[in-house]
Amino acid sequence: MTTSRRDAHDACEACGAPRLDGRSCDDDFHTLLGWEYERPAPRQQHHLLVLTYHLQHPHLYSPEGLAYARRMLADFLVGMSSAAARARAQGVLGSERRGWQLTGTPTSYGSYPSRPYYPLTVADVVDAGIDAAAEQVERWARATQAALDRMERAERIEDGR
């Protein structure tokens, strides 16, 4: 192959991952989901995988879904159970948001003020291979959480809050 593997002009707009060998982030996400059927360890990390992937691609969520997922990821990473994390994330939205949609639509979707810098993307997790997947998903989730926290802190400083 003569083409460069990393072409900065051809990166994912949402997460910044370079498109390696013509793979899209969606392709990589489905590769990781497939690995859950082949190994028990990645299966344990299913929630982290889904949340982290979507948080790095916020347009896949509705605005409410994005707020919900932020809370869920933070709580999962401190070891909260799925049921407890779900209940707490519902609380973020308040009772007036009953009947809200998780997924984004072309006219209503989640976004960040600017794209956070992510040290790890879904492409890095796939590149590490199936045997490292469970460990890499957790690293990726923690790095994403840290990047989103940094973004939110910077926003607060800008707003003078």
The answer to whether residue 12 forms part of the interface with Zn ion (CB under 5 A) is yes
The answer to whether residue 17 forms part of the interface with Zn ion (CB under 5 A) is yes
- When binding is defined by CB under 5 A, the residue of 3, 8, 10, 14 that contacts Zn ion is 14
- When binding is defined by CB under 5 A, the residue of 5, 6, 15, 131 that contacts Zn ion is 15
- When binding is defined by CB under 5 A, the residue of 5, 6, 9, 25 that contacts Zn ion is 25
CA dist., res. 112 & res. 13, Å (int): 12
Scored b (16 or more CB within 10 A) or e, 55-92 reads bbbbbbbbebbbbbbbbbbbbbbeebeeeebbeebbee
Q: Between residues 13 and 131, which has the closer beta carbon with respect to Zn ion? A: 13
The answer to whether residue 73 forms part of the interface with Zn ion (CB under 5 A) is no
Q: Between residues 85 and 126, which has the closer beta carbon with respect to Zn ion? A: 126
Minimum distance from residue 57 beta carbon to Zn ion (Å): 6
Minimum distance from residue 60 beta carbon to Zn ion (Å): 10
**Phi and psi of 28, rounded to 5°?**
-65, -40
Q: Between residues 22 and 99, which has the closer beta carbon with respect to Zn ion? A: 22
Residues 99-158 that bind Zn ion (CB under 5 A): none
Interface residues with Zn ion (CB under 5 A) are 12, 14-15, 17, 25
